[in-house]
Structure 1
Amino acid sequence: MAGAAYFSSDYPEARRRFAEAAERAGARLTSYGHPERGPNGEELAADVAWLGPEDAGRVLVSLSGTHGVEGFCGSGVQVGWFDSGLAAEQDAGTAYMAVHAINPHGFAWLRRVTEDNVDLNRNFVDFAASLPDNPGYDELAEALCPPTWDDATIAATRGVLRAYAEEHGPSGLQAAVTNGQYVHADGIFFGGTAPTWSHLTLKRIFQRHLARAERVAVIDYHTGLGPRGHGERICPAAPDAPVLGRVRDWYGEDFTCPALGTSSATEIRGFNVIGMEEALPGVELTAVALEYGTLPTEEVKLALRADNWLHLHGDMTSAKGGAIKDQIREAFYQDADDWKEMIWERALETQRLALAGLAG
């Protein structure tokens, strides 16, 4: 079966196909039900499939849907890993854990954020301490998320963003917009004021299923950044972190690190690996995000801004609402066979290298 065939068209189909593929492969399923419902009243859940010995010392983890609508990508890889028979490549002492749709609300509603408008990958901060500030975002907040959304508003706000980039550079604009902010609850890249349901559930899953592991490799699937179809292996670690040595041993020089200035991503606050490490003290954790490009960055950010406006001020049942949902879907899921094949081939290579790294 070609890799493109493993990908689904919506959340209910993705969830069903994941469960069926896992069961055919002999994996054990556990579901963590979400308190809210999908757009058609469907149940939402983060589903976990475990293949291999329960007490495995080495575990390969694949994670989909950290950013909701980006879940199509990781879900397709997870279905393919089970249905292709490739999961059998793991040795007897290694288990595979697939976490499907850790942000199921965002996946089902075609949103990057959680049900409370929180970017899950900015939500793992210490909420008992002073939260990080982002003066750049504060300056741009009104332009990024205006109360109206039409051609004139889009053109005017683009002018504000370009002026900021001229003064601070393109990387300065990207950092201001995407690093994370904790003040504007109705804005984009909002990190929240408390742990979200998905935050707590991710920690619960890691604590429950990986308590006996000694070495864990994580591949967290993302889309929307970089050249179309290219899978950038991003290690969100400090420049002197030991994990960078392991990542280099496993993947050679085919990885990037925001802290080293080698990534298309900037350094962000509150990323989910922080929560994984907190859930697994003493475990050797080697995590990368596998980030696939879709559209040019400006178009992706425009789709995010449009979706934010729609859920605050618009009507999702209107023609304009439908067009915006098509726009954000295209920004994070290229429903084209060539794109899906690139996703699958890069994922296959990365997961095989991770398995070899775990065993080595």
Structure 2
Amino acid sequence: MLRWLWRAVLALVVLGLVAAGVASWRFAGYAAADPAVAPDSQALAYFVDDYAGARAAFLADGDTLAQRFANAERFAIPVGSRQGTRELFVDGLYVPAQQSPKRLLILSSAVHGVEGPTGSAVTRLFMQEFMNDALLADTGVLLLHALNPWGFAEQRRFTENNVDLNRNAATTEALYQTQNAGYPVVDPLINPGGPADLGAWQHRLFLLRSVAQIARHGMPVLRQAVLQGQYEVPRGIYYGGKALEPQLAALAPRLATILEQYPLSMGIDLHTGYGARGQLHVFLNPPENPRVREGLEAVFAGQNIDWGSGADFYTVTGDVAGWIGALRKSGAHLPAVFEYGTMDSQATLGAVKSLHITVLENQGAQHGYASATDEARIKHDYREMFNPSSAAWRTKVIHDSRAMLGQVLAQLPQVSVGP
């Protein structure tokens, strides 16, 4: 009897090891499936992968619009770099309502720098296909290109100070005293020391370590702890900083002046990464004002809104979309985020893989890489997570953006958000 018991235990152990091995193998080679969309050369032409090229394309389209519409304003906020080898700017184009200023639409891109190519592409789609006499008769448009130009140029999510701009935006200092109670629980998992080494056991076993945390705390708790933002670990991921980053501080008074010219404004901040691959998620922090929520629901009527409080999503502190609205002294603001999913990260395997790629990239940025091969692989995976080279994915981004922007422009004039 004892012999059979030991054999059963041994069989269970072997099965467990096999299952763990298979899971780790699947995890190592994980890739979300592309959307079933035929590549469209006209859509793909909007994408420019490098910062300098994307900026040049934005400025060229801006020249055309500035010549066409009266009183257009252009500005460039320089962003310094300790490297001193690049010219980096937050570029803006403001075209006021040409007849009656009823509402303002703001598009912002590259808050997370490495996501810049998609944000720039969608911005130029909007410039070329939507900015016309009919729209601009009573709607002003403000385009903010590359809010994090250093991250765009260096293909990092964060600024040169390792600050996540979408956890940094605030009108008071209170944000930077915020404590993320869950972050210390996940800190050993997501902020390892030493050079990034794909062969290290901490990374080979990352899936199993993550599953253990999920089993103990639950996925929603861990997702919120990791992604909410934190203000105590400067070299850690999702660090929100200790003060407003310089480009946002320089931008704030200009934004406030423009906002006050309109009783209603709406901001769309363009992001990539989180969510189902090939899907445009309308991703919002739940607003405190119920009238603002009603306005957003009216603009996106018929669409699935991913409120950050949902089980598969999360809320953030210090987000740019909300910060822009907080700069208003009067009137109302509708904050929205377009999130173009890349990794199926609303599912467990995609979420853990996305986190692992982020952890490895930050470890390499902070502590170096174990080898040139490790560096090349990690940086490649990181770029693909936020700026997929897939022609099908890029085509769907443009097609979906065209449809969604069309709906926004059709519905926004119907919205009235009172006090």
CA apart distance, 1:240: 5.4
1:95 — aligned with what? 140
2:392 to 330, 338, 343: 338
1:269 to 309, 317, 322: 317
Establish whether residue 86 from structure 1 lines up as the match of residue 149 from structure 2.
Answer: no
Residues 66-145 of structure 1 mapped to structure 2, 5 A cutoff: 66-83=111-128, 85-88=129-132, 89-125=134-170, 126-128=172-174, 131-145=177-191
Q: Is the 8 A contact 1:22 1:28 kept in 2?
A: no
Residues 1-360 of structure 1 mapped to structure 2, 5 A cutoff: 2-26=42-66, 28-36=73-81, 41-53=85-97, 56-83=101-128, 85-88=129-132, 89-125=134-170, 126-128=172-174, 131-148=177-194, 149-150=196-197, 151=199, 152-238=201-287, 241-258=290-307, 260-261=309-310, 264-295=312-343, 296-314=350-368, 318-360=372-414
Q: Is the 8 A contact 1:235 1:288 kept in 2?
A: yes
Provide the C-alpha distance between the structure 1 equivalents of 2:357 and 2:254, rounded to a whole number of angstroms: 31
Q: 1:154 to 1:20 in 2, by over 3 A?
A: same
Q: Give the counterpart letter for 2:45 in structure 1.
A: A
Q: Give the counterpart letter for 1:3 in structure 2.
A: A
- TM-score in terms of structure 2 length: 0.79
- Residues 271-280 or 212-221, more deviating: 271-280
2:32 — aligned with what? none
What do the CA deviations read for 1:285-316 (whole angstroms, capped 9, x no partner)? 11210001112332322221111111111159
Q: 1:301 to 1:283 in 2, by over 3 A?
A: same
Q: Is the 8 A contact 2:102 2:138 kept in 1?
A: yes
CA apart distance, 1:28: 4.0
Matched pairs, number: 357
Q: Is the 8 A contact 1:181 1:190 kept in 2?
A: yes
Q: Is the 8 A contact 1:237 1:243 kept in 2?
A: no
What do the CA deviations read for 1:79-104 (whole angstroms, capped 9, x no partner)? 22223x33115141112211000111
Q: 1:166 to 1:333 in 2, by over 3 A?
A: same
- Residues 163-172 or 30-39, more deviating: 30-39
Provide the C-alpha distance between the structure 2 equivalents of 1:260 and 1:254, rounded to a whole number of angstroms: 17
Question: Which has the greater radius of gyration?
Answer: 2
- Residues 15-24 or 297-306, more deviating: 297-306
2:15 — aligned with what? none
What do the CA deviations read for 1:131-189 (whole angstroms, capped 9, x no partner)? 22223211221221111332222124443322110111111211111111111111001
Q: Give the counterpart letter for 2:329 in structure 1.
A: P
| Unmatched segments (≥5 aa) in structure 1 | none
Tell me the secondary structure at the aligned position of residue 78 of structure 1. helix
Q: 1:156 to 1:136 in 2, by over 3 A?
A: farther
Q: Is the 8 A contact 1:38 1:109 kept in 2?
A: no
CA apart distance, 1:130: 7.4
Q: 1:104 to 1:123 in 2, by over 3 A?
A: same
Provide the C-alpha distance between the structure 2 equivalents of 1:278 and 1:2, rounded to a whole number of angstroms: 37
Q: 1:316 to 1:69 in 2, by over 3 A?
A: farther
Provide the C-alpha distance between the structure 1 equivalents of 2:375 and 2:112, rounded to a whole number of angstroms: 20
- TM-score in terms of structure 1 length: 0.91
Q: Percent identity?
A: 26
Provide the C-alpha distance between the structure 2 equivalents of 1:38 and 1:344, rounded to a whole number of angstroms: 34
Provide the C-alpha distance between the structure 1 equivalents of 2:257 and 2:154, rounded to a whole number of angstroms: 28
Q: Which runs of 4+ in 1 moved over 4 A?
A: none
Provide the C-alpha distance between the structure 1 equivalents of 2:190 and 2:123, rounded to a whole number of angstroms: 34
Q: Is the 8 A contact 2:272 2:342 kept in 1?
A: yes
What do the CA deviations read for 1:3-50 (whole angstroms, capped 9, x no partner)? 1110102111111111111212336421111112779x2211110112
Q: 1:63 to 1:169 in 2, by over 3 A?
A: same
Provide the C-alpha distance between the structure 2 equivalents of 1:251 and 1:56, rounded to a whole number of angstroms: 22
Provide the C-alpha distance between the structure 2 equivalents of 1:271 and 1:260, rounded to a whole number of angstroms: 15
